[in-house]
Chains A and B, each alone.
Chain A
């Protein structure tokens, strides 16, 4: 059974800092991995999707990397802003089927 863990569970940083969120998964036979953002009381918004054959994806100040063999992904946020404050979730899709397994999430607070 796939298990996805995110460390740290919570993070508080001052505005302007670069930061890294971590995601690890136990079964490396994945099809892809997604990073989502969830604001309080809202649904999830997809940030980046990395296919299993890719090493990284970039969107603006966000960069996600994937090391499938070691079961790890990182989300790098450059020059953090208060508007980045949210919970960040990673999710893995298995080699077959569309059942995503979500991580436990990292709650990020960026202080002005």
Chain B
């Protein structure tokens, strides 16, 4: 298996623009997680899905952030409009069962100017 796939790997955009991050989980994994990592706040869970259904979105910072999982093999995290404070590395992870090891993607490094 290719592991968790994220795209793009790097994104540079200007404040106010829409940003869409993409994730393909490991095949057969029913859980998908979106994390954000910054120097100041470390690694934080934004939202996670089970069988394509959002289970906990309490970490989503504000209404500018939205996440979808239209099918078992694809998820998006959208920021609209983007702000400089959204600059971070965004990770996607997946796992096959609740409580089991989470497998992380390589991350998307986002810079909002």
Interface residues of A (CB under 8 A from B): 31-32, 34, 36, 41-46, 49, 89, 91, 93, 97-100, 102-105
Contacts and interface: CB of A to CB of B under 8 A. Distances in A.
A104 B31 CA distance: 24
Interface residues of B, number: 27
Contacts of B48: 98-99
Interface of B: 4, 31, 33, 42-45, 48, 50, 55-56, 58-59, 91, 93, 95, 98-107, 109
20 contacts: A31-B99, A34-B101, A36-B104, A42-B107, A43-B91, A44-B91, A45-B104, A89-B43, A93-B99, A98-B31, A98-B48, A98-B56, A98-B98, A98-B99, A99-B45, A100-B45, A100-B102, A102-B43, A102-B44, A105-B42
Contacts of B91: 43-44
B104 A32 contact: no
Contacts of B58: 99
Contacts of A31: 99
